Amino acid sequence: MDLILVNLIDGLVFGLLLFMLSSGLTLIFSMMGVLNFAHASFYMLGAYFGYQLSTVLGIGFIGGLIVAPIIVGVGGALIERYGLRQVHQYGHVPELIFTFGLALLIQEVVKLFWGQNQIPYFEPAYLDFALFSVGDNAIKAYKVFMIFISLAIFGGLLYILTKTRIGMIIQAALSYPKTVEALGHNVPFIFMGVFGVGTALAGVAGVIAGPALGTFPGMAFTLGSIVFVTIVVGGLGSLWGALLASLLIGWLTTFAASYNLRMEDILTGLGMTKPEVMSDSMLQDLWTLTLPQVGPILPYLLMVLILVFRPQGLLGKREA
């Protein structure tokens, strides 16, 4: 029972982290119709800028949390303005390839400035204590902090998008850009702004996830593909779908990693006998399979199944 609760909390933390990335990505997708492969790279930049600002320049963790996303967001907006808009005229496939190249490039630039190895970016001392404990498992204050930051951002985003005038214009511009332009709004500027805010959100996620998950040049690609899975599963362009899928995948991977369900037990439970000499059997891998082993690939399996059987995703309205 304790373990379930701990896993629920861990899964929630990871799921909300995924949501911070997937919400921005899904908004950008509704706007441009293109998946931004470099989205997780902005998350990585957020973590590195956060480290650089908070420890080397010494404005503290909170300072980094505020300044780093702004830098990332401005950088993202500039890339949209001078990079993506240039490529847009060639069509969707070059756009996708451009963002893919950008992801590679950002990874190499990060390696140039900060090196191959993980950098010593830790949570601030004032959040590094056990807030409460479930059974024998201590829950760190930092995890709770992460949950609250994510929830605050989700609430803010939802409020802005549905209750304010700016949000209305953005939503209208996503569906009917021509009409909104005819009404006198600067739609390219709105798109640039949405791209900037989306990347800034990824930057926030990077600043707070860097200490928890580790800050290294491969972090963008490890999380990036999971974020894709999330928005495809949730339904491209759907904010609620992104939330649902983020939590689903967060819990799926966390639970799979912590329950050592072995294939051996299932097969013997079904009445099969384990072969004496494993190395001769063609099915040896089936016998030695465990749930933590397959855990990391479950999201991809889920995505492929979703794409085959329900291409619009869980809550999506249109096909990708």
Quick one: 49 or 98, whose CB is closer to another protein? Answer: 98
Helix (H), strand (E), coil (C) string for the chain: CHHHHHHHHHHHHHHHHHHHHHHHHHHHHHHHCCCCCCHHHHHHHHHHHHHHHHHHCCCHHHHHHHHHHHHHHHHHHHHHHHHHHHHHCCCHHHHHHHHHHHHHHHHHHHHHHHCCCCCCCCCCHHHCCEEEEECCEEEEHHHHHHHHHHHHHHHHHHHHHHHCHHHHHHHHHHHCHHHHHHCCCCHHHHHHHHHHHHHHHHHHHHHHHHHHHCCCCCHHHHHHHHHHHHHHHHCCCCHHHHHHHHHHHHHHHHHHHHCCCEHHHHHHHCCCCCCCCHHHCCCHHHHHCEHHHHHHHHHHHHHHHHHHHCCCCCCCCCCC
**How far apart are CB 55 and another protein at their closest, in Å?**
16
Quick one: 56 or 125, whose CB is closer to another protein? Answer: 56
**How far apart are CB 293 and another protein at their closest, in Å?**
6
Quick one: 102 or 245, whose CB is closer to another protein? Answer: 102
Quick one: 265 or 319, whose CB is closer to another protein? Answer: 319
**How far apart are CB 306 and another protein at their closest, in Å?**
9
**How far apart are CB 124 and another protein at their closest, in Å?**
26
Quick one: 272 or 304, whose CB is closer to another protein? Answer: 304
* Contacts with another protein, residue ranges (CB under 8 A): 34-35, 83, 86-87, 90, 92-94, 96-98, 100-102, 104-105, 107-109, 111-113, 115, 221, 225, 228-229, 232, 236, 282, 284-285, 289, 293-294, 296-297, 300-301, 303-304, 307-308, 311, 319-320
Handedness of CA 59, 61, 65, 71 (dihedral sign): positive
**How far apart are CB 5 and another protein at their closest, in Å?**
29
**How far apart are CB 296 and another protein at their closest, in Å?**
6
**How far apart are CB 307 and another protein at their closest, in Å?**
5
Quick one: 2 or 285, whose CB is closer to another protein? Answer: 285
